[in-house]
């Protein structure tokens, strides 16, 4: 944060008056150029800076796509379980939602019986909430499906920046040859939540149409913040921040996995973590995820029941586990508290925090 403050102070002191004027709906050009360079290198996205729009986040990017491409009654496929904020937004535009199940290779391509799909919303880099990275075979199959059915794909690249193992797989957008993928990501997750800056990469033939709609809604994202972010990227601070935080998170992942497996065997089956800032733990069939999350909250352990992200009943319930904001000692304490809670629940009893110790410290995930 101190580096951000330094870059911001310098930018504000020396801001030329043209930074106080309005800019193009797609945003501050030097930032669009920096984002295009970054996405080409880090995510395998194929784009020119002209295709990059700076938005306030993935939510605005999806809102723009829905405004432009959806008519009430259009069918949209979403992952199930999936990001509820996307489904709610799409429903608000009158979309008919069809769930795509998610397996170990990512979202499953809709079957032939699912017809007239206008848009599919997917999170291939790090499926939300299960954390699976979509395999290359599945990416190609999804693109082939989009070609055959003439559907658009909205690729939400949220939480893609940190990878701990496995080879990086290029974004769907970079594998697409037909201009059927709209790609979006955010800076709020990797920098700080209130930043509210993200990007949308659109096929070249849609640039004008999307710019026209954006100029009628939000006009453009705030220019001074864009200029600060641009300096932060161009001067290399952004990549240094990612490298530094990757090491911090890699340590947290290994504590969660190693200690979790040691203490929670038979109680919570924690999935391996290839990328991102959260994973899932699967519960024994007899334990309700909502109840487990509620009881864990009494110990200030914040875990999210997977069922709140699911449209259909899950075969097995589970908990979403975030590790970004929790240092190793706290992670270990959290694992021990979960062990107490889940042991009690498997015996069909509950345990109160007073039985352990007074905890006042929140383990609510915070971004770095």
Using CB atoms within 10 Å of the CB of residue 104, give its burial: 0 to 12 exposed, 13 to 18 middle, 19+ buried. Answer: exposed
Told to check if 186 binds ligand PLP by CB under 6 A, we report: yes
Least distance CB 199 / ligand PLP (angstroms)? 10
Chain position whose Cβ is nearest to ligand PLP = 57
Q: What angle do CA 337, 338, 344 make, to 5 degrees?
A: 95
Q: Pick from 131, 198, 260, 334 the residue near ligand PLP by CB under 6 A.
A: 198
Binding mask 321-340 for ligand PLP (x = CB under 6 A): --------------------
- In angstroms, the Cα distances linking 368 to 252, 336, 361 are 13, 24, 17
Task: Choose between 82 and 174: whose C-beta lies nearer to ligand PLP.
Answer: 82
Least distance CB 297 / ligand PLP (angstroms)? 19
Told to check if 156 binds ligand PLP by CB under 6 A, we report: yes
For tokens 């109680």, name the residue.
267
Least distance CB 284 / ligand PLP (angstroms)? 27
Binders of ligand PLP in range 16-45 (CB under 6 A): none
Least distance CB 159 / ligand PLP (angstroms)? 7
Least distance CB 186 / ligand PLP (angstroms)? 3
Q: Which residues pair with 103 in a beta bridge?
A: 106
For tokens 């009628």, name the residue.
216
Told to check if 87 binds ligand PLP by CB under 6 A, we report: no
Q: For residue 175, what are its two tokens? A: 């594998």
Kindly give, in sequence order, each residue whose CB lies less than 8 Å from that of residue 155, ignoring residues fewer than 6 positions away: 122, 123, 124, 171, 172, 173, 181, 182, 183, 184
Told to check if 199 binds ligand PLP by CB under 6 A, we report: no
Told to check if 58 binds ligand PLP by CB under 6 A, we report: yes
For tokens 């800019």, name the residue.
23
Least distance CB 5 / ligand PLP (angstroms)? 22
3-class secondary structure for 324-362?
Answer: CCCCHHHHHHHHHHHHHHHHHHHCCCCCCHHHCCCCCCC
Residues that bind ligand PLP (CB under 6 A): 57-59, 83, 85, 123, 128, 156, 158, 186, 188, 198
């Amino acid at each position: 944060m101190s580096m951000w403050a330094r870059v911001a102070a310098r930018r504000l002191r020396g801001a030329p008056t043209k930074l106080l004027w309005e800019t193009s709906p797609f945003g501050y050009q030097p930032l669009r150029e920096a984002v295009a360079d970054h996405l080409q290198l880090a995510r395998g996205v194929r784009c020119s800076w002209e295709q990059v729009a700076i938005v306030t986040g993935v939510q605005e990017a999806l809102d723009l796509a829905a405004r432009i491409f959806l008519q009430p009654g259009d069918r949209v496929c979403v992952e199930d379980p999936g990001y509820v904020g996307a489904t709610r937004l799409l429903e608000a535009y009158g979309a008919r939602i069809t769930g795509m199940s998610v397996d170990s290779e990512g979202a499953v391509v809709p079957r032939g019986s699912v017809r007239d799909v206008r848009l599919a919303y997917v999170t291939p880099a790090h499926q939300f909430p299960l954390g699976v990275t979509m395999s290359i075979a599945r990416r190609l199959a999804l693109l082939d499906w989009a070609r055959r059915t003439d559907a658009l794909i909205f690729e939400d690249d949220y939480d893609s920046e940190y990878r701990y193992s496995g080879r990086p797989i290029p974004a769907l957008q970079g594998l697409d040859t037909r201009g059927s993928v709209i790609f979006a990501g955010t800076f709020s997750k990797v920098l700080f939540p209130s930043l509210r800056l993200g990007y949308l990469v659109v096929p070249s033939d849609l640039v004008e149409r999307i710019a026209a709609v954006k100029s009628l809604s939000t006009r453009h994202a705030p220019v001074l913040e864009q200029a600060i972010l641009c300096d932060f990227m161009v001067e290399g601070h952004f990549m240094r921040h990612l490298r530094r935080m990757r090491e911090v998170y890699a340590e947290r992942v290994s504590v969660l996995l190693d200690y979790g497996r040691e203490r929670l065997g038979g109680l919570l089956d924690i999935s391996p973590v290839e990328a991102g800032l959260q994973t899932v733990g699967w519960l024994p069939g007899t334990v309700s995820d909502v109840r487990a999350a509620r009881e864990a909250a009494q110990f200030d352990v914040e875990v999210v029941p997977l069922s709140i992200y699911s449209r259909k009943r899950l075969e097995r319930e589970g908990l979403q586990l975030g590790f970004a904001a929790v240092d190793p000692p706290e992670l270990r304490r959290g694992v021990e508290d979960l062990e107490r809670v889940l042991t009690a629940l498997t015996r069909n009893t509950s345990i109160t925090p007073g039985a352990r110790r007074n905890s006042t410290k929140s383990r609510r995930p915070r971004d770095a």
